[in-house]
Amino acid sequence: MKRIIYATAHDTEAAFYEAIEKSDLEAMMAVWADDDDIVCVHPGGVRFAGVAQVRESWRKIFAGGQHLHFRLLLQHSITGATLVVHSVYEEITVVGEAHPAAPVIATNAYLRTEHGWRMVLHHASSSPAQAESNARRAPKTLH
């Protein structure tokens, strides 16, 4: 399989959320660094480390058959020459439902590699009620 070279961390992030929305495991793993130092934490879940564990966690999520739509709000970025960290509120709507669930707070970290920008961390957690209220009042849509 030919690996896509993502020119920016933003491109990698867009591909990450597109892979979730399409439940596409191969596209999902294409955004991640091919490194056993990668880490993924899903809301309310345990830490998955390394390519095999991260892949299996996404395989199980996609096998559930639930289709999701994401809108990113209130993005905060820390940008360096080789590392970019995004903190976002994920407004998630289950396809077929009228209203989104409470926002999820996510931290996504991207590393510039010889193969373009790759995700090295996704840590998502439920947001407290106050954060939900703030996120709904002042949206800043990424895409």
Q: Under DSSP, is residue 143 helix (H, G, I), strand (E, B) or coil? A: coil
Helix, strand, coil tally for the chain in percent (to 5): 30, 35, 35
pLDDT in tens, 75-117: 999 999 999 999 999 999 988 888 888 889 999 999 999 989 9
Q: Return the CATH number of the domain spanning residue range 9-137.
A: 3.10.450.50
Residue 40 has pLDDT above 60, yes or no: yes
Domain ranges (residues) in the chain: 9-137
The predicted structure's pLDDT at residue 136:
53
The closest alpha carbon to 10, from 106, 107, 102, 86, belongs to 86
For residues 38 and 56, give the distance between their C-alpha atoms in angstroms, rounded to a whole number. 13
Residue 74 has pLDDT above 90, yes or no: no
